[in-house]
Amino acid sequence: MIDVAIFGAGGRMGAALLTAIGSHKNLRLMAAVEQPGHPMLDRDSGTAAGTQPNGVPVTSDAEAAVKAVDVIIDFTFHTVVAGTAALVAKYKKAYVLGTTGLSPEERAAVDAAAKVVPVLMAPNMSVGVNVLLDLVKQAAAVLGADAGYDAEIVEMHHRHKKDAPSGTALALAKAVAEGRGADFEKVACFGREGITGERDSDTIAVHALRGGDVVGDHTVIFAADGERVELVHKASSRGSFANGALRGAEWLVGRAPGFHAMREVLGL
């Protein structure tokens, strides 16, 4: 049995993880963590998430939670990540990180942890999205700028999402760049405004939409004269993300230190 701590238990993904973990027979919830002052503190985490009571209260003692488990699943706000990464490195615990929007300093803390523990870091842990990433890379290799195809990515999320564009949209854009053999930093474009001039054929553009309760929609468009190819993923619930993260947590325990990817978990 693999013991799990969920960091960010009071968030939308935390609730999805607390709901889904019961269907993963090799995983056992041992800790649910939130920040000091959070209204969920000391409540049964299952009840607070709207599922069955599980006997695991929500705590703000991150260090005790890390010490007590085999793997940490982290879906917190980015400002919390550096502290958690330091703890997983200190206690040599596997680390599944789904938080996006990390600053360079926060990413450096994760890089340091990956030198001593296995880290599964993915902007989107759903099985469908990770298959999509492979499909996009393959399509981009054929539907290139030199063949007359313009690449545009559109993502939409709920009104509460704090970062833009989404980590998944960035990963998809980088998959396009990789498939084309392009330097992403040189060809990336984030939205447009004003008199922009004609579109550069090498551009890979990303556009972010926000509104309502949209869980996550991503569309990769390859547009040419006379035809358009669209690869689309639409998430109707966070259960797909949660189950992917839990599947990854089970796979990650016992792996070598360093960064691991969902494609490894899925055998892609």
The pLDDT tens digits of the residues spanning 155-184 come to: 999 999 988 999 899 999 999 999 999 999
Does domain 2-121+238-266 bear CATH number 3.40.50.720?
yes
CATH class (in words) of the domain with range 127-235:
alpha beta
Single out the residue of 96, 68, 41, 40 nearest to residue 255, CA to CA.
96
The pTM of the whole model exceeds 0.85: no
- Cα→Cα distances 178→2, 208, 238, Å: 35, 21, 28
The kind and range of the H/E element at 194 are none
Q: Could you give the C-alpha distances from 229 to 168, 175, 199, 202, in angstroms and in order? A: 19, 16, 18, 17
Contact 206/153 with Cβ under 8 angstroms?
yes
pLDDT, position 101: 83
According to DSSP, the β-strands at 216-224 and 227-235 are antiparallel
DSSP state of 16: H
Q: Is 157 a catalytic site residue?
A: yes
In the chain, where the domains are located: 2-121+238-266, 127-235
Phi, psi angles (nearest 5°) of residue 156: -135, 135
pLDDT at 268 over 80: no
Catalytic-labelled residue, pool 93, 157, 174, 260: 157
- Catalytic: which of 24, 90, 137, 161? 161
pLDDT, tens digit, 9 for 90 and up, residues 87-102: 999 999 999 999 888 9
For residue 211 the two structure tokens come to 């509104």
Mean pLDDT of 18-39: 95
- Is 260 catalytic? The answer is no
